[in-house]
Structure 1
Amino acid sequence: MIKYISILRGINVGGKKVIKMDALRKMYENLGFQNVTTYIQSGNVIFKGDDTEITQITEKISLQIEKDFGFGVPVIVFTIEDLKEMINQNPFVNDSNKDISHLHVTFLSSEINSANKNGIKGKKQDGEEVCISEKAIYLYCPKGYSKTKLTNTFIENTLGVTATTRNWKTTTKLLQIADQIE
């Protein structure tokens, strides 16, 4: 079985699109996934499955969320190997001048057109740094993520892909949990 991580965008924010993690975990189990674990209330789910086609897994989860909870949410799915690679590629994590509490990873649903990358970099504000890889965008936001203009919506509109952001602590915790499930 393959270990997967799925991250949902825009649930349990401001009392909208509310999904209890127990109900979400049960939904994944009903879809046939195993060792389902959730982390915090923002829709981070670690699980094992036999499927190998990520687009099919993503579609299956998305359709079931809409059916069970009555609304659609963007879902991004990747393997534990993908997550390890994304963590290892973060160019800011080993810079002792950077406070890791200001590091964020924007996960992308698919590879992006390189021609649009300049639009992202042009939006950064003073002190911010951004690095774009195939599967993720690494952000350093020293004034806080809530102050950046490099939001999920901006990134999605600029790149034409679904995106959702997690802070560095959550990102590394997802890998830790995935490593521990049998």
Structure 2
Amino acid sequence: MPAYVALLRAVNVGGTGKLPMSDLVAMAKSAGFQRARTYIASGNLVLESDSSEQQIKAVLEEALAGYAGKPVGVMVRSAAQMSEVLAANPFPEKAPNRTVVVFLDEAPPDDWQAGMVAPGGEEARAGTRELYIHFGEGMGQSRFKLPAAARGTARNINTVTRLAAMALE
């Protein structure tokens, strides 16, 4: 059965967007997904399903909206696509904890750099359905802005690496 990675937007351990990962796994299992498991408490779900990427996205978004009472965006990638995202990293020599992938539903727009502000020397590159950003000094104090990334969800390269490996297990 094919493996997929589902990445939830605006989900965290506490505060707004709180969703216990045990509830996410239960939700996925009740939707019929197999081998549902999470990685760190920030909305990373690995599952197996014979459904398409679009079907998985629709089922999870509907279940999450019912749970949260508001829309929760979900980006879905196959195991092979996650490996491709890693292979396409334009910053392989940079620190993986300072390089993020912003997962999008669609290809970045042609003008994806419009409105970008990189006062700390941050670098950005477009991928297939991703944006890659390297935060040289780290994300904590960065004033970096990239409007094209607003509809996506970001994970650092360490997390992407682990999710890609989990999807292949």
1:67 Cα deviation from its structure 2 partner: 1.3
In the TM superposition, 1:120-159 aligns within 5 A as 122-146=116-140, 147-150=142-145, 154-156=147-149
Residue number among 163, 167, 171 corresponding to 2:160 in the alignment: 171
TM-score scaled to structure 2, two decimals? Answer: 0.91
1:143 Cα deviation from its structure 2 partner: 1.8
**Contact 1:141 1:148 (C-alpha < 8 Å) held by counterparts:** no
Residue number among 89, 99, 104 corresponding to 1:103 in the alignment: 99
Whole-angstrom distance in 2 between the partners of 1:179 and 1:149: 33
Bigger fraction of residues in helix: 1
The 3-state SS of whatever aligns with 1:112 is coil
Whole-angstrom distance in 2 between the partners of 1:126 and 1:16: 28
Report what 1:50 is aligned to: 50
Decide whether aligned partners of structure 1 residues 40 and 32 sit closer, same or farther in structure 2, where only a CA change above 3 A counts: same
1:99 Cα deviation from its structure 2 partner: 2.5
Q: Which runs of 5+ in 2 are unaligned?
A: none
The 3-state SS of whatever aligns with 1:106 is strand
Q: Which runs of 4+ in 1 moved over 4 A?
A: none
Whole-angstrom distance in 2 between the partners of 1:13 and 1:101: 19
**Contact 1:2 1:79 (C-alpha < 8 Å) held by counterparts:** yes
